[in-house]
Structure 1
């Protein structure tokens, strides 16, 4: 009898552990801009309804998201910095990378536009005008995809930003927009977060449209060859789902203020 009880207890324990493992959420590191846009509030419940997989979101900058992937702290990353993504995969930390949507960056700033960048077609010229006028510029300063893009734009303008006019916040996109609004400063933001916040801040969209401002997003599974404990199976399901017709249609149809926040890249 005692042996039967022990066997029954062991079987129940194993069954409970199997359920716990199966129910463990998929860990995804993504950017604050993706989170702030509200898109994940549409995408992830639909994914869970179809697959039963819950996704636990950790919103950080792209640099930190990729580091979490390198360290095996998450199962999948959703980021927007092409060169950093390609390096992550080339070094063997990521696999099954898919670019699945894009939007663009824009420069927003004070309504009175003291640097005079409104209508300027070249983003390089706009950055030069901001620096030349010593107008306040609020930088993410957090190694995010937006911060990486900003640094590339300063480099293209042959400017090393420093001085009291240049403020590194070390914050996510939503908080930086709020800071820029309070300080009457300019900032670089992805269009999605701008649309989500423009009714909450006293600012205007002042520069857009340059090809340098393109902003593609990628989703990458953490390589199980590097981290065998990663939940690769569910990460691959998420990648396949956001790339599917259903996922791409949700991305296409998500709008704020009547405008699309992201454009799907794989919609048939």
Structure 2
């Protein structure tokens, strides 16, 4: 199993990365986290070889006092030459949560990400649509065309789509190259396997969000525990190793606000699942 992937064909990406969503707060409505803890996690991630960080300008604490992009800039700028920062646009923060924005909202969102991260160009920008499940039957063409124009201006290097179905992905690919898809997928939630197959065939990165269940799904199935016992590993480590074994295009981005948890997640890089393991996990 290779440990790297050429994102967009030209960005050498270590396949086990880091998701920044949990840095400002654990869950919506909960208190903001200590910003220094977030900065410490980010620094340690890079020290341990992470070069793919997934974020969004709307990853903020409930009161706005802790902001994932600001933490990334404070902890890591000037950025290492090989660091890849991916972000998402589309959703609009409201007092009651996130609502879906329009194509007119996308340029301000891209510019906000550039400013908060302290960058002149974003490595990868996903158009995120819908809420928790893909909005079947909804066109993303107008919004994706807006992002494609921003890419032509030089503000974005590569484009991605998030929370999409097969039709959305095909629609986007008629407009501009799609470098990555970010959909809900993990060892206990495999509904997006067909999208993963499409990405594998096309050489498009597949980046599962909530790769460890997101606190919403229990991934500690007896089969996972059985394989974990063989490797003297945790269920989470086996779940990450399983994701990376599914396809050479899969990039995992587990998030945490704990250095110890970060180190445990990254230890999954040393696990090679056997055919017996994969049969048990199937």
> TM over 0.5, yes or no?
no
- TM class, shorter-chain normalised? under 0.3
The structure with more strand, counted as a fraction of residues: 1
Instruction: Give the TM-score of the pair, scaled to structure 1.
Output: 0.25
Larger Rg: 1
More helix by share: 1
